Structure 1
Amino acid sequence: MKITTVGIDLAKNVFQVHGVDEHGKAVLKKQLRRDQVAAFFVNLPPCLIGMEACGSAHHWARKLEGMGHAVRLMAPQFVKPYVKTNKNDAADAEAICEAVGRPNMRFVPVKNIEQQAVLALHRVRQAFVRARTAQANQIRGLLGEFGIVIPQGIGYIANRVPELIEDGANDLPGAFRLLVQRLLDHFKDLDRQVEELEAKIQAWHRGSELSRKLAEVPGIGPITASALVASIGDAKNFDSGRQVAAWLGLVPKQHSSGGKAGLLGMSKRGDTYLRTLLIHGARSVIYRVGQKAEACGWIAGVVNRRNKNIAAVALANKNARIVWALLAHGRNFDAGYVRQATTG
């Protein structure tokens, strides 16, 4: 009995394992506790192991690859069609084992420790930004109940609210002033946390040659560049720049049937955080172009033909393709680069 392919259904404590031989016959169905996984696979001959790309998947992928196994991670939505009948751990492990052997299956690159650490900084910063925005909106809403309107913009909270608390002409109750001061202190603490995390991301960006290279592209700054480098990893895992754009959900969603092609809005698949960074960076470029008296160039033409939202997505798509070209081919950004036509 030689096990060639194994599917693992990851969990917090109990892992389900399903293995097949070279003929596809099931020869292994086993439950493992977390502390038993490493001991079991270190004694197993090298084989192909499939897992869903979920919590702790990259950790176990690195660990099993260190034991000599070939590990492939798959998006859960690609595994779901292979689940037979009812859903349970054993059926999930069997579906993973079957899906990992499909020749047309798409896999998720395994991230190293440094990539995961940088992405953790981005996720925590994103959570603090959301909390800061929610706190600012709460302060603005509470003051609005007393007829005090603060202009939109995160900067007005720290500038205007202290003056309103000290102003005795607005008839605010003393208990309410103390409450708003407490909320303002919380807002400032969140703002400080965001700045500290941004400083850490900036420091990593300055030490990464690839990240500095991407930051030369208009519409891509240190935050976006570091997130792209950490998320994409080896750009050669993608066959083309369009695959990167599709991976980020920046291509049209297709709904075609009967030979009639139908293209809808952008698919919005993949990583929402990266897509948001690229689109907001594109909006910044469009804003700068609009400030010029005689704007010209590709993006100015798109803005003139369509609206700014469509132009922002188009520029984000273009930047995603540029990012792939820079990472996959080791090039530096050249604003005047013209692709040479190939001759037969």
Structure 2
Amino acid sequence: MKNLFQWIADQNEVLPPLLIAELTTQYEYYNQLNVWIKAQEDKLLALNKENDIAKLLQTIPGVGPMTASCCISAVGSPQDFDNGRNFAAWLGLVPFQYSTGGKPRMLGISKRGNKELRELFIHAARAVMWRDKTAEKFFGTWLIDLKCQKPFNVALVALANKIARIAWSVMTKKKPFEIRV
């Protein structure tokens, strides 16, 4: 961004002064927003350091400070859910089922529940899938088989579902995520 602004500043003779003034204002606003975002991130990190459950949630692959804090604030009490599947269903990370004539049909995800938290779990799954070398370490051959058999986005949502279930387990048992070998 600095290079772009420097290029604009060097174009004094080509660009109209009003445009340069407006772009300068926008650049200053952009810098102010970056400072504000950095301050908010620092506050979030400080809050997560104080919260034991946030620390535990961040032991799950792909789950960072944003997902952990959003999960804690949205869920409240994880004991309200009977199991991890109910938690994932509450988030809308389970397939929507349409059955007629004894033939069950699985459609896309139900997309019910907290949209932001669902998106964060999907981003967590995406982060894990991009790190192919460590994904096998965390989820074994399950993830590799899933990636080979299903389209990328279907596998992504399935992994997000699994991460959400693990998050529920971590929150209820108050124990960090452990890799099963």
**Which structure's residues are more often helix, by fraction?**
2
- Within 5 A, what are the aligned runs for 1:215-226? 215-226=58-69
Describe how 1:81-120 pairs up with structure 2 within 5 A: none
What is the distance in 1 between the residues matched to 2:52 and 2:10?
Answer: 51
In the other structure, the counterpart of 2:50 is: 207
1:289 correspondence with 2:132: yes
- What is the one-letter code of the residue matched to 1:220? V
Work out whether 1:198 is the aligned partner of 2:26.
no
- Structure 1 gaps of 5+ residues are 1-157, 338-344
Which residue of structure 1 lines up, in the alignment, with residue 75 of structure 2?
Answer: 232
Q: Does 1:333 align with 2:177?
A: yes
Distance 2:126 2:85 in 1: 21
Shift of 1:159: 3.0
User: Relative to structure 1, is the Cα distance of residues 170 and 299 closer, same or farther in structure 2, using a 3 angstrom cutoff?
Assistant: farther
Say if 2:4 is the partner of 1:161. yes
2:119 alignment counterpart: 276
Which SS does the other structure have where 2:99 is aligned? coil
**Correspondence for 1:183:** 26
Shift of 1:308: 2.2
Pair 1:312 & 2:156 matched? yes
Question: 2-side partners of 1:300 and 1:163: how far apart?
Answer: 46
Query: Hey, what's the Cα distance between the residues in 2 that align with 1:302 and 1:169?
Result: 56
Higher relative contact order by CA 8 Å / sep ≥ 6: 1 or 2? 2
Label 1:170 to 1:298 Cα distance change in 2 as closer, same or farther (>3 A): farther
1: CA distance, partners of 2:7 / 2:22: 13
Judge conservation of contact 2:56–2:174 (CA < 8 Å) in 1: no
SS at match of 1:336: coil
Q: Using the alignment, how far apart are the partners of 1:170 and 1:282 within structure 2?
A: 49
- Segments of 5+ residues of structure 2 without an aligned counterpart are none
TM-score (normalizing by structure 1): 0.48
Instruction: Output the amino acid matched with 1:226.
Output: S
Matched, 1:300 2:134: no
Instruction: Please give the per-residue CA displacement for 1:102-158, whole angstroms capped at 9, x wherever unaligned.
Output: xxxxxxxxxxxxxxxxxxxxxxxxxxxxxxxxxxxxxxxxxxxxxxxxxxxxxxxx2
- Flag the structure with larger Rg: 1
**Which residue number in structure 2 is paired with residue 174 of structure 1?**
17
* Post-superposition offset of 1:170: 8.2
CA spacing shift, 1:321–1:256, aligned 2, 3 Å: same
**Change over 3 Å in CA distance of 1:173–1:272 after alignment to 2:** same
Q: How many angstroms does 1:244 deviate by? A: 0.7
**Counterpart residue type for residue 170 of structure 2:** L
Give the length in aligned residue pairs: 177
| CA distance in 2 between partners of 1:208 and 1:183 (Å) | 37
| Alignment match, 1:245 | 88
CA contact (8 A) 1:219 1:284 kept: yes
Give the TM-score taking structure 2 as reference length.
Answer: 0.89
CA distance in 1, matches of 2:151, 2:133: 12
SS at match of 2:171: helix
8 A contact 1:235–1:324 mirrored in 2: yes
Does structure 2 retain, via aligned residues, the 8 Å contact 1:286–1:308?
Answer: no
Task: Describe the SS at the equivalent of 1:255.
Answer: strand
Question: How far apart, CA to CA, are the structure 1 residues paired with 2:134 and 2:174?
Answer: 33
Structure 2: distance between partners of 1:274 and 1:227: 6
The answer to whether the 8 A contact 2:74-2:114 is kept is: no
